[in-house]
Amino acid sequence: MSEERDPAALEAEDDLFVSAMESPEAARLSAEDISPSSNGPKAEPVLLDDDPDDPDDLFAEIDEDEEESRDTFDIQISVSDPEKVGDGMNAYMVYKVLTKTSLSIFSRDEVCVKRRFSDFLGLHSKLASKYMHMGYIVPPAPEKSIVGMTKVKVGKEDLSSVEFVEKRRSALERYLLRTVKHPALLKDPDVLQFLESSELPRAVSTQALSGAGILRMVNKAADAVNKMTIKMNESDAWFEEKQQQFDNLDVQLRKLHASVESLVCHRRELSVNTASFAKSAAMLGNSEDHTALSRALSQLAEVEEKIDQLHQDQACADFYLISELLGDYVRLITAVKGVFDQRMKTWAKCQDAQVMLQRKREAEAKLQHANKPDKLQQAKDEIREWEGKVQQGERDFEQISKNIRREVGRFEKDRVKDFRVVIIKYLESLVHTQQQLIKYWEAFLPEAKAIA
């Protein structure tokens, strides 16, 4: 599916990222067609191609420039107003997706559309199939949850299903923001269509038990087996190092995530137990027959009640700030690992092509002595074909390696920023909690002293 783009529009796009890439053509983005022949003309580049002369050191500069352009990155997306549509097991939630932007690739400044969860999954699946094999880190979509959704469908209006919907809404918002932060994905027509068009064809293949779903599972299993059998000759230490780092990061983030989830759970428990104690203290105050002490106990009960609310709010912050961030990053790192795996697959493909070429050459050599001119010609043709494939394979491998380096660079920058921002916000929430605690106890102290 190749692009039909107005050259004028292309120019406008270039303005956005011209500081980031050296050649204007680089800003052009085309879809997934990979054919060995389209390697030439710059008019239709197949891959998001940097200027092939770019040495690797230039990435440092480019990253800086990208940073600049990201500061002028003007797009806000919000996912809100979850609404239940339909009844019973066929019901689903619909979310309002509001995009506000001044970027010219969008047709309007402000667009509002309605999307359901499977639409998001569909978007991700399309992006993954287009870009992952090129080495792009495609942000993973939020996870399905059969239990959570069933509760919502069945119409349970309790606290846990409200929480579930809120959790999902927030996750969908983060997903979209991450997706548009990626310079290539932002301009992808599927993304644009998702954000702008009022009607979206239903993504049926995202259902777990659909034909496509089952195919996905089979592919995943096959990939896992392949991964074990491919033994790659890593010539580039950078990749080995990075893979190790990501493996370590994965382990630690999962551990941290588990601890934070435990903290959220215990804080919620603390809040409940504090509320229960507050009630009990109030009762004790009531039965105390010394008036001043009775009053002080009632005051204590009030303080504890306020504190229980404080604990609850803090637990929420623990969750929405830290726990969800960690969960997102655990999934993102899986995507990163996936990209490394793609590189391995590309390498394997290249190796296979070389093996084939060798075989064809051997076959040709044999035919040389057999005096079968037409078969010989065929053999020579095949050799040419496989030579081409080997070349393409090597180019692909180089390209994906380059892409991954750049993507990992970008990913790490984002990671640093994300963690910094979130942790600072989290510490600020902790500060607020302590300030409130001080307020409450300072109000109580004179009451306690007043017992005579």
Partner 1 sequence: MMVGAFLSHSLHPSYLHLQRSDASSNHEHLSSVLTSLCVSPQQEGLDDGPDFLSEEDRGPRAVNVDLQTDATLQVDISDALSERDKVKFTVHTKSTLPNFKQNEFSVVRQHEEFIWLHDSFVESEEYAGYIIPPAPPRPDFDASREKLQKLGEGEGSMTKEEFTKMKQELEAEYLAIFKKTVAMHEVFLCRVAAHPVLRKDLNFHVFLEYNQDLSVRGKNKKEKLEDFFKNVVKSADGVLVAGVKDVDDFFEHEKTFLLEYHNRVKDSSAKSDRMIRSHKSAADDINRIASTLYTLGTQDSTDLCKFFLKVSELFEKTRKIEARVAADEDLKLADLLKYYLRESQAAKDLLYRRGRALVDYENANKALDKARAKNKDVLQAETTQQVCCQKFEKISESAKQELIDFKTRRVAAFRKNLVELAELELKHAKGNLQLLQSCLGVLKGDT
Instruction: Choose the stretch contacting partner 1; rule: CB under 8 A; options: 63-71, 211-219, 367-375, 426-434.
Output: 426-434
For residue 81, is it left (φ>0), alpha (ψ between -120 and 50) or beta?
A: left
Rounded to whole angstroms, the Cα distance separating 105 from 74 reads 12
Tell me how far, at minimum, the Cβ of 131 lies from partner 1, in Å: 24
Instruction: Give the nearer residue to partner 1 in terms of CB position, either 97 or 281.
Output: 281
Rounded to whole angstroms, the Cα distance separating 177 from 276 reads 41
- Classify residue 26 by its DSSP letter: G
Is 287 an interacting residue with respect to partner 1 (CB under 8 A)? yes
Q: How many CB atoms lie within 10 A of CB 206?
A: 21
Of these, 80, 280, 309, 334, which contacts partner 1 (CB under 8 A)? 280
Rounded to whole angstroms, the Cα distance separating 119 from 129 reads 15
Report H helices in 230-290: 237-287
Give 346: exposed, middle or buried? Use CB within 10 Å, 0-12, 13-18, 19+. Answer: buried
Is 162 an interacting residue with respect to partner 1 (CB under 8 A)? no
Site string for partner 1, 15-54 (x = CB under 8 A): ----------------------------------------
- Pairing mode, strands 92-101 and 75-85: antiparallel
Instruction: Give the nearer residue to partner 1 in terms of CB position, either 62 or 253.
Output: 253
- Classify residue 82 by its DSSP letter: E
Instruction: Give the nearer residue to partner 1 in terms of CB position, either 260 or 400.
Output: 260
Of these, 292, 334, 372, 377, which contacts partner 1 (CB under 8 A)? 292
As a dihedral over the C-alpha atoms of residue 119, residue 123, residue 128, residue 134, rounded to 10 degrees, the angle is: 180
Tell me how far, at minimum, the Cβ of 432 lies from partner 1, in Å: 10
Q: Which of residues 390-419 bind partner 1 (CB under 8 A)?
A: 412, 415-416, 419
- Taking the CA of residue 150 as centre, how many other CA atoms within 13 Å lie in the half-sphere pointing to its CB? 3
Give me the residues paired with residue 94 across strands: 83, 116
Say if CB 176 and CB 77 are below 8 A apart. yes
Instruction: Give the nearer residue to partner 1 in terms of CB position, either 23 or 429.
Output: 429
Of these, 260, 325, 348, 404, which contacts partner 1 (CB under 8 A)? 260
Q: Which of residues 215-254 bind partner 1 (CB under 8 A)?
A: 245, 248-249, 252-253
Q: Which two tokens stand for residue 349?
A: 């493909």
Instruction: Choose the stretch contacting partner 1; rule: CB under 8 A; options: 126-134, 164-172, 211-219, 434-442.
Output: 434-442
Say if CB 125 and CB 206 are below 8 A apart. yes
Instruction: Give the nearer residue to partner 1 in terms of CB position, either 219 or 273.
Output: 273
Is 274 an interacting residue with respect to partner 1 (CB under 8 A)? yes
Is 290 an interacting residue with respect to partner 1 (CB under 8 A)? yes
Q: What is the largest CA-CA distance in the chain?
A: 119
Instruction: Choose the stretch contacting partner 1; rule: CB under 8 A; options: 29-37, 148-156, 342-350, 431-439.
Output: 431-439
- Contacts with 60 (C-beta within 8 Å, 6 or more apart), sequence order: none
Instruction: Choose the stretch contacting partner 1; rule: CB under 8 A; options: 97-105, 151-159, 218-226, 279-287.
Output: 279-287
Tell me how far, at minimum, the Cβ of 284 lies from partner 1, in Å: 4
Q: Which two tokens stand for residue 375?
A: 């078969």
Please state the separation of Cα 268 from the chain's center in Å.
Answer: 28
Of these, 10, 18, 103, 293, which contacts partner 1 (CB under 8 A)? 293
Interface residues toward partner 1, by CB under 8 A: 245, 248-249, 252-253, 255-256, 259-260, 262-263, 266-267, 269-270, 273-274, 276-277, 280-281, 283-284, 286-290, 292-293, 296-297, 300, 412, 415-416, 419-420, 423-424, 427-428, 430-431, 434-435, 437-438, 441-442, 444-445, 448-449, 451
